[in-house]
Structure 1
Amino acid sequence: MNWEVFKGLLSGANKYSTAFGRIWLSLVFIFRLLVYVVAAERVWSDDHKDFDCNTRQPGCTNVCYDHFFPVSHIRLWALQLILVTCPSLLVIMHVAYRKAKEQRHRSAGRDDHRCTYPDPGKKRGGLWWTYLLSLVFKAGVDVVFLYIFYRFYRNYTLPRLVKCELPPCPNVVDCFISRPTEKSIFTLFMVVITCICIVLSLVEATYLIGKRCHECLLASSGGSRRHSQDGALSHAEPTGTAGQVFHGVDYKPATASIPTTASSPGTLPEEETLP
C-alpha cells in the first residue's frame, strides 16, 4: 500500500470536512484502518488452519468451517473500509472538478472578470448535496455491515465449541474455533467504533441541514425587512426642497378667528352706545 498516496487523499478529505468530519476521519484512520492492518489480520490469520473437528472424514472440516464462517471477519472489514471511504473521495473529486472548471474559465481570457467558483471548496450548490449524500451513504454502509455481522455471528461473539452435522460428516461432530475470546474482543471493538462513526455522520448531516435552514431563515427575514422598509418609504408624504409638505388641490388651510378688540374701528363698547 502506498502510504504517500493515502496520506494525500486523507489530507484532501480532511481539508474540505467540518469538525465532525475530521473527527470521523481520525477514528476511521486510527481505530479502524490501523487496527485492521496491525492487529486484526494477524488475529484471523489462523482461523481456518486451527479450526479443528473431532473427525477424520475428508471434507467435513471444510464444510463445517464454511458453515460457521461464510465470510471471514477480516474480508468483511476490508470491504466495509473500502465502501465507507469512497464517498470522501467523491467529495475530493467534486472539488477537483470545480477547480478545473474555474481554471478553464480563467484560461479562456474572458473580460467579465467573474469567477464561476470563487471558493471551490465551499459547500454550496452541488458540492453541498454531494457532501450530504456522502454522509448518508457512509452511515448506511456501516449500518448494513453491522446487520451482516449480526446475522452471521450472533451477538458479535464467537463460541468456543460448535456442533456440526452437515454432510459429508458421518454424525454430529464437535469443532473448536481458534482463539475465540480474542476474536470476540476485536469484533466488539470494531462494532463500537462503527457505531460511533454512524453517530458522527448523522450529527454532521444534522449540522449541515440546520446550518442551511438557519441561513435561509436569515435571508428571508432580511428580504421581508427590506420590503417593509421600502413600503413605508413609498407611503410617506413627499416634501419640498425646503421641507414644505405638498398637499392636494382640494386642500383648504385652517383659518384662525381674529377676536374683536376695543381698538377696532367701527365698534364701540356697550357703555358708550348712544341711545
Structure 2
Amino acid sequence: MDWKGLQGFLSGVNKYSTAFGRIWLSVVFVFRVLVFVVAAERVWSDEQGHFDCNTRQPGCVNICYNHFFPISHIRLWALQLIFITCPSFMVVLHVAYREERERKYRAKHGENTRLYDNPGQKHGGLWWTYLMSLFIKTGFEITFLYLLHYVYDSFKLPRKVQCDVSPCPNMVDCYVSRPTEKTVFSYFMVGASILCVILNICEIFYLISARVVALKHRGSAQTASRKFHPDVDSDGCKSSHNE
C-alpha cells in the first residue's frame, strides 16, 4: 500500500486543522502508520506459515488457523487506518469547492471582490463538515476497537490454542509464533487508537466551545450596538418611523 501517497494527501489537512487536529495527524503517521509499515507488518509476515499444530492431518492446520484468526491483525489495522483518514478528505474537498466558487466569483465580478474572507476558515458549512468528520473518525475508531476485541476476545495473543474443528481427528494443540512480540504491538496499536479517540473528543469540545463563545461575543456586540445606536435594528438597518 502506498502510505506516502496517503500522507501527501492528508498533509493539506494541516492547513485547516486546529492544534488538536495537527497532534492527531502526527500521532496517526508517527505512532501508527510508521510503526505499522516498519515493524508490525514484519512481525505478522510469518503468522500462518509458523502456526504449528501437533498433527499432520491434511487441512487441519489451515482450518484451525482460520478458526482462531478469521482476519489478520495487519489487514484489520490497514482497513482502520484507511477508514479513519478518509473523513479528513471531506474538509479538503469542501475547501476546494469554496476556492472554486471564489475563483468564479472573482472572474465574474472583478479581482478586487471577495466571496470569502478566507476559504479555509471554519465558518458556516465548513465548520459543520469539519465537526462531522471528527464524529465519523471517532465512530470508526471505536468500531474497529470493538471488532478487534470481538473477533479475538482479547487484545492479548495466546501462546497455545486448542482446536477440534473438522477435519482434525481430535483435540489438537496449536502454537502461535512470537505471541509476546505480537501482543506488545497489539497493545501499542490499541493504545495509539485510544489516544486518537481522546484527541478527536477534545477537538470536538474545542470546536463547539469556540463556536458558543463566538456567538456570545457576537450577541453582546449586537446588544451594545443597539444600546449606543437605538435607531439601528438588529439587522444593522436604520428603522423608519414612516413604516
Tell me the amino acid that sits aligned with residue 107 of structure 1. Answer: A
Tell me the amino acid that sits aligned with residue 159 of structure 1. Answer: P
| Distance (Å, rounded) in 2 between the aligned partners of 1:2 and 1:141 | 21
Residue in structure 2 matched with residue 205 of structure 1 by the alignment: 204
Tell me the amino acid that sits aligned with residue 17 of structure 1. Answer: S
Residue in structure 2 matched with residue 34 of structure 1 by the alignment: 34
What TM-score does the superposition give when structure 2 sets the normalisation length?
0.90
* 1:100-131 superposed Cα distances (whole Å, 9 cap, x missing partner): 111111122x2595422221110011111110
Contact conserved, 2:3 with 2:33, CA < 8 A, in 1? no
| Distance (Å, rounded) in 1 between the aligned partners of 2:116 and 2:29 | 31
| Distance (Å, rounded) in 1 between the aligned partners of 2:3 and 2:129 | 26
Secondary structure, aligned partner of 2:177: coil
Secondary structure, aligned partner of 1:118: coil
Tell me the amino acid that sits aligned with residue 217 of structure 1. Answer: K
Tell me the amino acid that sits aligned with residue 195 of structure 2. Answer: I
* 1:192-215 superposed Cα distances (whole Å, 9 cap, x missing partner): 010000000010010000000001
| Distance (Å, rounded) in 1 between the aligned partners of 2:151 and 2:3 | 33
Residue in structure 2 matched with residue 20 of structure 1 by the alignment: 20
Structure 1 unmatched runs, 5+:
234-275
Contact conserved, 2:134 with 2:204, CA < 8 A, in 1? yes
Give the structure with higher Rg (CA).
1
Residue in structure 1 matched with residue 241 of structure 2 by the alignment: none
* 1:116-170 superposed Cα distances (whole Å, 9 cap, x missing partner): 2221110011111110011111111110111011112233001101000111111
Moved over 3 A (4+): 1-8, 111-114, 228-233
Aligned residues: 232
Q: How well do the aligned residues superpose, as a CA RMSD in angstroms?
A: 1.9
Residue in structure 1 matched with residue 167 of structure 2 by the alignment: 168
Mapping 1:5-154, distance limit 5 Å: 5-108=5-108, 110=109, 114-154=113-153
| Distance (Å, rounded) in 2 between the aligned partners of 1:161 and 1:4 | 37
Tell me the amino acid that sits aligned with residue 220 of structure 2. Answer: S
Tell me the amino acid that sits aligned with residue 102 of structure 1. Answer: E
> Shift of the alpha carbon at 1:38?
0.7
The percentage of aligned residue pairs carrying the same residue is 54
| Distance (Å, rounded) in 2 between the aligned partners of 1:7 and 1:164 | 42
Contact conserved, 2:106 with 2:113, CA < 8 A, in 1? no
Structure 2 unmatched runs, 5+:
233-243
Q: Which has the higher contact order (CA 8 A, sep 6+)?
A: 2
> Shift of the alpha carbon at 1:88?
1.2
Residue in structure 2 matched with residue 194 of structure 1 by the alignment: 193
Secondary structure, aligned partner of 1:48: coil
